[in-house]
Copies of this chain bind each other. A is one copy, B any other.
Amino acid sequence: MSEKLNENRYLEDILNRFSDKSAVIGIIGMGYVGQPLALRFSEIGFKVIGYDIDSNKVDMLNGGTSEIEHIANADIAKAVAAGFECTRDFSRISEADTAIICVPTPLNAYREPDLSFVIATCDAIAPYLRPGQVVSLESTTYPGTTDEEILPRVTRNGLIAGESVFVVYSPEREDPGNADFTTHTIPKVVGGHTANCLKVGSALYSTAIDKIVPVSSNRAAEMTKLLENIHRAVNIGLVNEMKIVADAMGIDIFEVIDAAATKPFGFTPYYPGPGLGGHCIPIDPFYLTWKAREYGLHTRFIELSGEINHAMPEYVMGKLVTGLNARKKALNGSRILVLGISYKKNVDDMRESPSVQVMELIRNAGGEIAYSDPHVPAFPKMREHSFNLSSVALTPDSLAAFDAVVLTTDHAAFDYEMIREHSALIIDSRGVYRTPSDTIIKA
């Protein structure tokens, strides 16, 4: 009886603290996901503490600035003024009522899940957890992660899931650069380890997010996020394959996709490109591939998409070599300008950008490489790529100095008419130029 009362005490207490906004929202990982979420909770009146291992990032945020282009410094400064603070001290998780984990889940060199950031986070906070807290994982991962990896760690010191700690999985759905939606207008899927965990998780997020979508388990929530990204990876893989087939038949795949998109049911347009980029689509699907092996299953669509999408930078290269060759030029020694090097349009995010792969292929073949990207003034320090380059300003003269330009990311800021007019040869991997022309090759 007393135990039952005890359980209800933690549950009711945390629900009340969400409801009267006295709860302190702790968010671990101050990146593309953690920052907007912290701003949202701060904006609606919660005290927010951000935790990160990067002292530079912590200092910047405490100073009211963000290194992320699409997050306004003014919004950070406003949150700081309202009490938002960042720290590298993970023992301070005891001050928070929630531990919302927003750390990266990359792949290792063998396309296997790298949960090291998630595990390190759990190990760092576990000694400081106290009864009544919520631990919510937002990082994309395979079904079973929360129950198999998070749960044992956060209950190590005697906390009981659903009674004295609430273990939740709620996948992030951030879409940087999407002007139509923002953190609170994107419905949020929530799973819990027990019914009480789900209740608390839903209460936590419903303070900040317009619409909560509860599902029956953490596994179902984990699978939901993977399905979203697998769907995208496969559909992009499909149109990339269709591009190659259509091109061989003398058909413009972009015209075909636009025409198909006029069907008012049963078709959704996806567009081909120079490969897959970003921190989600090229990576997440392989989390399921890895886990499925435990069940003796192959995820054949995922593997096929990976293969085809991965080959697209080579395809673009092939079109460049062909175009130069028709002008009696070798790539070796030619001056090549790559247009747009972030992984998608109108953002500065370079993670897994296929443009960089195209740049490397060109450099490896002896091309003199340059790039222009209004969102990336200087080529950033990346773990696996290195170019000592700054963005070339686009003018009629600068364009005319190159043997070819390769359009890999179709930023809205580019002056496409000027580019068309002054480039000797354009390799267009984004379908920007629809009218056939002697100087434009669709890739």
List A residues at the B interface (Cβ < 8 Å): 143-144, 173, 175, 178, 180-181, 185-187, 189, 211, 213, 215-217, 219-221, 223-225, 227-228, 230-232, 234-235, 237-238, 241-242, 244-246, 248-252, 255-257, 259-260, 262-268, 288, 291-292, 295, 297, 299-301, 304, 308
Q: List 25 A-B contacts (CB under 8 A).
A: A144-B249, A186-B263, A213-B259, A213-B262, A215-B256, A215-B259, A219-B250, A220-B252, A220-B259, A221-B259, A224-B260, A227-B260, A228-B267, A231-B238, A232-B266, A234-B234, A234-B235, A234-B238, A238-B301, A241-B301, A245-B288, A248-B297, A301-B304, A301-B308, A304-B304
Q: Which residue of B lies closest to A305 (CB)?
A: B301
Complex CA–CA separation, A129 to B225 (angstroms): 58
Does A217 lie within 8 Å of B266, measured CB to CB?
A: no
Bound form: Cα–Cα A304–B234 in Å:
12
Q: Is the CB of A249 within 8 A of B181?
A: no
CB distance from A273 to the nearest CB of B (A): 15
A256 contacts B301, C-beta separation under 8 Å: no
Say how far A259's CB is from chain B's closest CB, in angstroms: 4
Shortest distance in angstroms between A246's beta carbon and chain B's nearest beta carbon? 6
Q: List B contacts of A180 (CB < 8 A).
A: 264-265
Give complex CA distance A22, B354 in Å: 57
Q: Which residue of B lies closest to A250 (CB)?
A: B219
- Given A231-B238, A265-B180, A266-B228, the answer on whether A297 and B244 have CB atoms closer than 8 Å is yes
Tell me whether B255 and A220 are in contact (CB under 8 A): yes
Closest 5 CB pairs of A and B: A248-B295, A268-B268, A187-B262, A224-B259, A213-B262
Residue of B nearest to A244 (CB): B297
For residue A266, which residue of chain B has the nearest CB?
A: B232
A297 neighbours in B (Cβ, 8 Å): 244-245, 248
- Cα–Cα, bound, A430→B238 (Å): 25
Residue of B nearest to A227 (CB): B260
Given contact pairs A220-B259, A234-B234, A245-B295, a sample of 5 additional A-B residue pairs in the complex whose CB atoms are under 8 Å apart: A219-B251, A227-B256, A230-B238, A232-B267, A248-B297
Inter-chain contact A237/B301, CB cutoff 8 Å: yes
The reply to whether A295 and B249 contact each other, CB–CB distance below 8 Å, is: yes
Q: Which one of B189, B246, B260, B295 contacts A228 once the chains associate, using CB atoms below 8 Å?
A: B260
Q: Which residues of B contact A224 (CB under 8 A)?
A: 256, 259-260
- The residue in chain B whose Cβ has the minimal distance to the Cβ of A295 is B248
Flag if A241 contacts B300 (CB, 8 Å): yes
Closest chain-B Cβ to A298's Cβ sits at a distance in Å of 9
Alpha-carbon distance between A277 and B213 when the two chains are bound, in angstroms: 32
Q: For A227, what are the chain B residues with a Cβ–Cβ distance below 8 Å?
A: 242, 256-257, 260, 267
Which residues does chain B contribute within 8 Å of A260, judged by CB atoms?
189, 224-225, 227-228, 231
Which residues on the B side are within 8 Å of A242 (C-beta)?
Answer: 227, 230
Known contacts A251-B217, A265-B181, A268-B231; decide if A308 and B299 are in contact (CB<8 Å): no
